[in-house]
């Protein structure tokens, strides 16, 4: 488990829908372990049913592992899961949702989530997830670029505010370079565009490294050019070394990359007869001005993102709860669209917060893990909610929805409580009755004549239950994380 956490949660891990599935599987593995420990402690039955259930669970996990190794759909795991769910129904017939029965139901739901996310893990799984999402209307797809853009065309969006900040700074930089007729004045807005980041810490870091790297690159390259013969082949050799240094050292340190790139520029200018001393002065002046303009944009807002991340994630979870509440009645299409747009805005703000925090120096690793794990599980919940909305995005809402609405509201209430606990750095219990109520909902829909709708509701409410339970588990397990 520790090795897997380092692999998936390190600072330089890959990102995307497939990696989210792997992160979810990591979280589910921990929850499965805890449920199995609890079942072993509470198991007092002598009829062998509990052992049979655990054997069924083992077969599901074995089949899941084989599917992950082969990068194939978990078809054998799905069949094993169906057998396990049949065992669950036989084992818990007439029992309450407390004690061992509650853990068995929770384990069954978690194993269903494991099989589901195994199907979406890896590059092939990402392709399968994208194909499955194309069945939804364009506005209900989590990856809809146009919907995300529209949702962020508001001053409440972090991305929108940064875009405005960039526009103002770049316009000012361009105007200054033209007004003062600065030699190589294009370096001024170019530097401002490169240095300006969505947060103060990253902007300060990049600005400082760019100035220092530029000065060092100019000094070292000028010194090397004076020592080498004044012939083209010698200058080409120096430029080749600098290009190799930029290619292989840029990912290690931004200052080294700037020094190598600056040296390359000096060599190229020397072929045009530009004096290296003049180029050094112009480059340093424009770099210092560009970095200064970028830093000036943050003088009135010198905040550290790690102090804001919990609020951004809490706002995102509250927005998801509002979205679920809009599906309870359900609201009209226009209202659902407005709530969904607000949800996308909150999600984008949370993603920007996580990205900025990741770039900040000194961010606690446990806080970054909390933020990334919650964001990944929040994406799961959002996709579940949009799939639920697709069931009622018709002219006439199905009559059976009167049974579904109260359950969705219960999930929304639990999610909102988890969001509040996150800002108070408190733990919160996994909703104890949500899984039982989901089972009761399916029992009430068993007599429905619309079997396709009942099966879709069963699948999606099971996903919703697991989503809400997992978020509560993450918030509680990391309740001691620094704010």
Q: Which residue has the higher pLDDT, 372 or 49?
A: 372
The last residue of a domain, from among 296, 316, 336: 296
User: Which two tokens mark 403?
Assistant: 């049974």
SS3 67: helix
> Distance (Å, rounded) from C-alpha 261 to C-alpha 269?
12
Query: Is residue 322 assigned to a domain?
Result: yes
Residue 44 near residue 66, CB atoms below 8 Å: no
Query: Is residue 313 assigned to a domain?
Result: yes
Residues spanned by the domain of 91 = 2-126
Considering the chain, what percentage of its residues have pLDDT values greater than 90? 25
> Distance (Å, rounded) from C-alpha 371 to C-alpha 354?
6
For residue 300, count other CB atoms closer than 10 A to its CB. Answer: 6
> Distance (Å, rounded) from C-alpha 116 to C-alpha 139?
23
Task: Compute CA 267 distance to the chain's CA centroid, rounded to the nearest angstrom.
Answer: 42
Q: Tens digit of pLDDT for each residue in 6-47?
A: 777 665 566 677 788 888 888 888 888 878 887 777 776 655
Q: Confidence class of residue 98 from pLDDT cuts 50, 70 and 90?
A: low
DSSP 136-192: S-GGG-TT-HHHHHHHT-STT-HHHHHHHHHHHHHHHHHHHHHHTT-TTTTHHHHHH
Q: Are residues 172 and 38 in the same domain?
A: no
Q: Confidence class of residue 71 from pLDDT cuts 50, 70 and 90?
A: confident
Lowest-confidence pick of 61-65, 188-192, 223-227, 348-352 = 223-227
Q: Are residues 328 and 378 in the same domain?
A: yes
Query: Is residue 139 assigned to a domain?
Result: no
Q: Are residues 292 and 311 in the same domain?
A: no
Q: Report whether pLDDT(310) > 50.
A: yes
How many Cα atoms within 13 Å fall on the side-chain side of residue 264? 14
Q: Are residues 219 and 113 in the same domain?
A: no
Q: Report whether pLDDT(91) > 50.
A: yes
Q: Are residues 43 and 121 in the same domain?
A: yes
How many domains, the chain? 3
What sign for the dihedral angle of Cα 166, 172, 176, 177?
positive
Residue 111 near residue 61, CB atoms below 8 Å: yes
The DSSP element (H or E) to which 403 belongs, if any, is helix 401-423
Q: Are residues 345 and 458 in the same domain?
A: yes
Query: Is residue 286 assigned to a domain?
Result: yes
Q: Tens digit of pLDDT for each residue in 358-398?
A: 777 677 888 888 898 899 899 989 989 988 988 887 767 88
Q: What is the CATH number of the domain that holds 466?
A: 1.20.58.220
> Distance (Å, rounded) from C-alpha 336 to C-alpha 323?
7
Considering the chain, what percentage of its residues have pLDDT values greater than 70? 91
The last residue of a domain, from among 296, 329, 362: 296
The average pLDDT across 136-141 equals 75
Query: Is residue 301 assigned to a domain?
Result: no
The average pLDDT across 225-235 equals 85
Contacts 24+ apart (CB under 8 A), 244-248: none
Q: Are residues 447 and 312 in the same domain?
A: yes
Q: Report whether pLDDT(303) > 60.
A: no
Q: Report whether pLDDT(481) > 50.
A: no
Q: Are residues 168 and 30 in the same domain?
A: no
The average pLDDT across 295-316 equals 77
Query: Is residue 352 assigned to a domain?
Result: yes
The last residue of a domain, from among 242, 267, 296: 296
Average pLDDT, rounded, for the chain: 84
Q: Are residues 385 and 453 in the same domain?
A: yes
Residue 28's nearest CA partner among 87, 68, 71, 83 is 68
Model pLDDT, residue 112: 92
> Distance (Å, rounded) from C-alpha 328 to C-alpha 409?
6
Q: Tens digit of pLDDT for each residue in 421-459?
A: 998 877 788 888 898 899 889 888 887 778 888 888 998
The average pLDDT across 191-199 equals 82
DSSP 277-317: HHHHHHHHHHHHHHHHHHHHTTTT----GGGTHHHHHHHHH
Model pLDDT, residue 21: 85
Lowest-confidence pick of 164-168, 315-319, 357-361 = 357-361
Residue 29's nearest CA partner among 473, 481, 415 is 473
Q: Are residues 446 and 314 in the same domain?
A: yes
Q: Give the distance between the most distant pair of CA atoms in the chain.
A: 92
First to last CA, the chain: 25
For residue 213, count other CB atoms closer than 10 A to its CB. Answer: 22
Query: Is residue 151 assigned to a domain?
Result: no
Q: Tens digit of pLDDT for each residue in 324-342?
A: 999 998 777 888 888 998 9
> Distance (Å, rounded) from C-alpha 197 to C-alpha 146?
23
Residue 466's nearest CA partner among 423, 426, 418, 434 is 434
Q: Are residues 431 and 472 in the same domain?
A: yes
> Distance (Å, rounded) from C-alpha 461 to C-alpha 438?
7
Query: Is residue 444 assigned to a domain?
Result: yes
Which residues in 358-380 are b (16+ Cβ under 10 Å) and which e?
Answer: bbbeebeeebbbbbbbbbbbbbb
Q: Are residues 347 and 471 in the same domain?
A: yes
Residue 182 near residue 189, CB atoms below 8 Å: no
Report CA Rg, the chain.
28
Model pLDDT, residue 178: 92
Residue 323 near residue 385, CB atoms below 8 Å: yes
Q: Report whether pLDDT(482) > 50.
A: no
Q: Report whether pLDDT(319) > 70.
A: yes
């Amino acid at each position: 488990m520790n090795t897997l956490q380092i692999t998936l949660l390190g600072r330089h891990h890959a990102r995307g829908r497939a990696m989210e599935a792997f992160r979810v599987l990591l979280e589910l593995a921990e929850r499965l372990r805890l449920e199995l420990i609890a079942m072993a402690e509470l198991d007092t039955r002598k009829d062998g049913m509990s052992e049979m259930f655990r054997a069924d669970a083992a077969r599901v996990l074995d089949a899941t592992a084989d599917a992950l190794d082969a990068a194939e759909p978990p078809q054998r795991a799905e069949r094993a899961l169906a057998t396990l769910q049949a065992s669950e129904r036989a084992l818990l017939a007439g029992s309450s949702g407390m004690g061992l029965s509650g853990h068995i139901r929770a384990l069954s739901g978690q194993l269903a989530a494991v099989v589901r996310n195994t199907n979406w893990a890896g590059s092939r799984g990402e392709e399968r997830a994208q194909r499955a999402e194309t069945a939804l209307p364009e506005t209900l797809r989590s990856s809809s670029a146009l919907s995300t853009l529209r949702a962020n065309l508001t001053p409440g969006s972090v991305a929108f505010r940064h875009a405005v900040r960039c526009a103002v700074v770049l316009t000012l930089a361009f105007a200054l370079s033209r007004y003062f007729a600065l030699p190589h004045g294009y370096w001024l807005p170019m530097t401002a565009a490169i240095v300006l980041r969505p947060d103060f810490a990253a902007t300060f870091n990049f600005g400082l490294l760019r100035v220092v790297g530029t000065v060092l690159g100019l000094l070292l390259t000028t010194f090397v050019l004076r020592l080498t013969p004044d012939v083209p082949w010698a200058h080409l050799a120096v430029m080749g070394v600098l290009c190799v240094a930029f290619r292989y050292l840029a990912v290690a340190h931004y200052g080294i990359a700037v020094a190598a790139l600056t040296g390359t520029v000096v060599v190229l200018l020397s072929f045009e007869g530009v004096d290296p001393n003049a180029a050094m002065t112009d480059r340093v002046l424009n770099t210092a001005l560009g970095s200064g303009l970028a830093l000036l944009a943050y003088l009135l807002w010198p905040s550290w993102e790690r102090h804001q991340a919990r609020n951004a994630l809490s706002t995102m979870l509250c927005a998801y709860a509002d979205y679920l509440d809009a599906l309870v009645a359900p609201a009209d299409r226009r209202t659902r669209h407005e709530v969904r747009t607000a949800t996308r805005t909150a999600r984008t703000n949370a993603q920007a917060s996580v990205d900025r925090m990741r770039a900040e120096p000194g961010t606690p690793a446990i806080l970054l893990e909390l933020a990334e794990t919650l964001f990944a599980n929040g994406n799961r919940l959002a996709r579940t909610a949009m799939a639920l909305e697709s069931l009622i995005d018709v002219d006439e809402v199905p009559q059976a929805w009167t049974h579904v609405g109260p359950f969705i509201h219960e999930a929304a209430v639990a999610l909102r409580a988890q969001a509040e606990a996150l800002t108070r750095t408190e733990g919160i219990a996994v909703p104890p009755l949500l899984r039982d109520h989901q089972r009761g909902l399916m029992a009430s829909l068993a007599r429905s004549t619309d079997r396709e709708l009942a099966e879709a509701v069963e699948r999606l409410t099971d996903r919703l239950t697991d989503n809400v339970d997992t978020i509560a588990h993450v918030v509680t397990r990391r309740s001691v994380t620094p704010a």
